[in-house]
Amino acid sequence: MKIILASSNSHKLKEFKVLLNDYEIYSSNDFIAPFEIEENGKSFKENAKIKSLAVFKALKNEVQENYIVLSDDSGICVDALGGAPGIYSARYSLEANDKNNRLKLISELEKLKLNESFAHYVCALSLSTKFGTFSVSAKMYGKIITKEKGENGFGYDSLFIPANYDKTLAELSDEEKNAISHRFKALKLAKILLKTLQKAYQ
C-alpha cells in the first residue's frame, strides 16, 4: 500500500520512512505543488485531519483511488506554561523556526524562575482515504529543561528528557528515540488501521 505524507518536512519524512518501512512512503510534494493549509483546529487531532483532507482533496482522482494520505500534528505541552505551546509548537516564536521556538520556550520558563517542568509530547495522526478519514493519537511524558543538550533530532528534542531517562531526545540515537516516541506509539495504532485498509485496497 502506498502512503503520501502530507508534509514537506524532511525530518518527518525520514522518520516516517523508518517507522513505516513496510510501506511505500512519498512526500505530498511528489504529487502536488506545496500550498498553504490553514490549521485552524482547536486540537492536534483536528489539525491533523484538516491537513490530510486538504492534501487528499488536492490529488487527482486516480491517485485518490490508490493512495492513502497520512498527516500528523504534533507538539509539546509544558505543565508550567499551562500546556503551551501545544498546537502552536511549530509556530511558537515570532520568527518561527526550531531554534527560535526553543529560545522562546526557555525564556518563558526562565520568566517563572524555572529550569525545568513536567511536559509531554503529543502526536495525532490522520489517514484520509477513499473510504473516509481515520485518526489516532499518543503521548510521551517527561520533562523540559532550559539548557539544550544533544545534536540529534529536531524541534524541542534537545530540551526534552523522556520519563525514566537521563538524556534528552537529542542525545539518543534515532533507534532509541523511535522506540519510545509519541510518533512511534501513534504509528503502532495507525498500523492496525493500515492493515485493515490494506485488505480493502486489494
φ, ψ dihedrals at 198, nearest 5°: -60, -40
N-terminal to C-terminal alpha carbon distance within the chain: 9
Confirm or deny that 150 is annotated as ligand binding.
no
Please tell me which residue in 22, 72, 73, 174 is annotated as part of the active site: 73
Confirm or deny that 183 is annotated as ligand binding.
yes
Distance CA 149, CA 88 (A): 23
**β-pairing verdict for 160-162 and 132-145:** antiparallel
Contact 39, 50 (CB under 8 A): yes
Contact 140, 183 (CB under 8 A): no
Confirm or deny that 67 is annotated as ligand binding.
no
Burial class (CB in 10 A: 0-12, 13-18, 19+), 137: buried
Confirm or deny that 23 is annotated as ligand binding.
no
Distance CA 106, CA 95 (A): 15
Confirm or deny that 120 is annotated as ligand binding.
no
Confirm or deny that 43 is annotated as ligand binding.
no
Amino acid residing at 128 = S
Count CB atoms within 10 A of the CB of residue 76.
26
Confirm or deny that 73 is annotated as ligand binding.
yes
Active-site residue 73, yes or no? yes
Confirm or deny that 7 is annotated as ligand binding.
yes
Pick out the residues of the known binding site for Mg(2+): 38, 73
State the catalytic residues.
73
Pick out the residues of the known binding site for substrate: 7-12, 74, 154-157, 177, 182-183
